[in-house]
């Protein structure tokens, strides 16, 4: 009976220790994240994703550490069973630490990107950092997973399992080489992603023309690039395309850009009033960046003059709107002030020097004689 009473006391004591671990683990978790959120609010930065990426793995780590601490103090557990329980808790702790490390990588990315805003006018450096951080995040997560897998193998107290894990890793390396050889496109896209991260032919939010489509780089993954087309379509392009094929990048060295609007007018139109009108239109529009504004005669044909209106803007979207505005206003100005300025076709009819004599009236028909 005494042995049964002792067993019940052991169970009660174990439940008490486990409850204490849960209470203290959650209390420490609450205090730590309360301080982190307060510091995040005081710094007036954008949300770093602490609650999204770290709350659950941190709570799991605190509970696993608490269980490892109390296990030696739980009475009445046989040594064999205690070793097995300790092994399970250690494996869980390694997995939870890896989970927490992956969440920390995401928080590090959010913290780094919070200092670089892509919505500002001059966002070249910000787009560079956003592009590189996507690749660095994937590399860091892969590195964390490999370390966690190695720590998980080392957590087992069995030399045979260590040897099995070493052989498994070697087999996995050989299999990865075989798969990389078989899947050349996937391997080439991955290497192209690394090359893009460092050589930077494209960045996040770059304006590009790919396969005749104008759009912005929305996402760069390890295998493909997502391009948002201006008409809300989505273009998926393999990473290797941007290494092997030519494409246009309108924001490679800066977002500012120049655009043209062509007019085809009659030779009789004076140039200077049109040039002054273009300057006035640009100065009154907030779309102009006050850098380039000019009108030139760029071509002559047998019937018209080609006038090029050259204007600049801070980005391609503004420049497109400004070019449309220039076309509308310049045509309106020509219609109002030079109504005969639009291309016309001249036809000249020359009369002959001597007019031919007009034929006289025909004589009346003769009457038939009566018989």
Share of the chain above pLDDT 70, in %: 70
Does residue 361 lie in a domain region? no
Does residue 351 lie in a domain region? no
Which pLDDT tens digit goes with each residue over 137-188? 877 888 888 888 877 777 776 655 555 555 555 555 555 555 555 445 555 6
C-alpha–C-alpha distance, residues 17 and 59, integer Å: 17
65 and 146 part of one domain: no
101 and 18 part of one domain: yes
91 and 194 part of one domain: no
Integer Rg of the chain from CA: 39
Does residue 84 lie in a domain region? yes
C-alpha–C-alpha distance, residues 370 and 124, integer Å: 113
Other CB atoms within 10 Å distance of the CB of residue 186:
15
Does residue 356 lie in a domain region? no
Residues forming a β-bridge with 52: none
**In this model, does residue 190 exceed pLDDT 70?**
no
Name the band, by pLDDT with cuts 50, 70 and 90, for residue 245.
Answer: confident
149 and 68 part of one domain: no
For range 280-300, the mean pLDDT: 92
Residue-range definition of the domain harbouring residue 303:
257-337
Q: Which of 292, 266, 261, 260 is nearest to 279 (CA)?
A: 292
**In this model, does residue 205 exceed pLDDT 70?**
yes
pLDDT at 367: 56
Which pLDDT tens digit goes with each residue over 12-71? 767 777 777 788 777 887 787 777 777 666 555 555 667 778 888 888 888 888 888 877
For range 84-90, the mean pLDDT: 80
C-alpha–C-alpha distance, residues 310 and 291, integer Å: 11
CATH of the domain at 237: 2.30.30.60
C-alpha–C-alpha distance, residues 337 and 270, integer Å: 11
Name the band, by pLDDT with cuts 50, 70 and 90, for residue 278.
Answer: very high
Residues forming a β-bridge with 265: 305
Cβ atoms 239, 224 nearer than 8 A? yes
CATH of the domain at 285: 3.30.70.100
Alpha helices in the chain (DSSP H): 2-42, 50-53, 55-70, 79-113, 124-155, 159-182, 184-199, 241-244, 271-284, 316-337
84 and 160 part of one domain: no
Which pLDDT tens digit goes with each residue over 340-359? 777 666 666 666 655 555 55
pLDDT at 1: 38
226 and 305 part of one domain: no
248 and 295 part of one domain: no
pLDDT at 355: 58
195 and 266 part of one domain: no
**In this model, does residue 109 exceed pLDDT 90?**
no
């Amino acid at each position: 009976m005494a042995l049964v009473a002792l067993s019940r006391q052991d169970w009660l004591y174990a439940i008490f220790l486990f409850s204490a671990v849960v209470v203290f683990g959650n209390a420490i978790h609450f205090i730590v994240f309360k301080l982190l959120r307060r510091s995040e609010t005081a710094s007036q930065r954008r949300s770093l994703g602490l609650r999204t990426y770290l709350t659950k793995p941190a709570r799991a780590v605190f509970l696993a550490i608490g269980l490892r601490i109390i296990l030696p103090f739980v009475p009445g557990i046989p040594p064999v069973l205690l070793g097995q329980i300790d092994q399970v808790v250690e494996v869980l702790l390694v997995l939870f630490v890896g989970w927490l490390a992956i969440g920390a990588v995401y928080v590090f990315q959010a913290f780094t990107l919070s200092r670089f805003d892509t919505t500002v006018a001059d966002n070249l450096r910000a787009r560079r950092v956003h592009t590189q951080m996507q690749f660095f995040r994937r590399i860091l997560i892969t590195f964390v997973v490999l370390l966690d897998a190695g720590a998980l193998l080392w957590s087992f107290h069995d030399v045979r399992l260590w040897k099995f894990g070493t052989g498994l890793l070697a087999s996995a390396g050989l299999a990865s080489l075989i798969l990389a050889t078989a899947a050349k496109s996937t391997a080439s896209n991955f290497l192209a992603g690394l090359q893009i991260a460092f050589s930077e032919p494209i960045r996040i939010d770059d304006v590009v023309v790919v396969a005749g489509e104008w759009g912005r780089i929305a996402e760069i993954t390890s295998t493909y690039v997502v391009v948002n087309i201006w008409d809300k379509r989505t273009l998926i392009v393999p990473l290797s395309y941007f290494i092997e094929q030519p494409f246009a990048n309108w924001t490679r060295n800066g977002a500012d850009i120049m655009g043209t609007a062509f007019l085809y007018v009659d030779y009789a139109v004076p140039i200077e009033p049109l040039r002054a009108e273009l300057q006035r239109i640009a100065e009154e529009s907030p779309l102009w960046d006050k850098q380039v504004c000019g009108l030139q005669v760029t071509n002559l044909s047998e019937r018209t003059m080609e006038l090029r209106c050259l204007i600049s803007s801070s980005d391609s979207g503004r420049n497109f709107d400004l070019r449309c505005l220039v076309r509308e206003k310049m045509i309106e100005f020509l219609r109002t002030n030079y109504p005969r300025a639009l291309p016309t076709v001249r036809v000249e009819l020359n009369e002959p020097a001597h007019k031919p004599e007009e034929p006289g009236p025909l004589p009346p028909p003769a009457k038939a004689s009566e018989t």
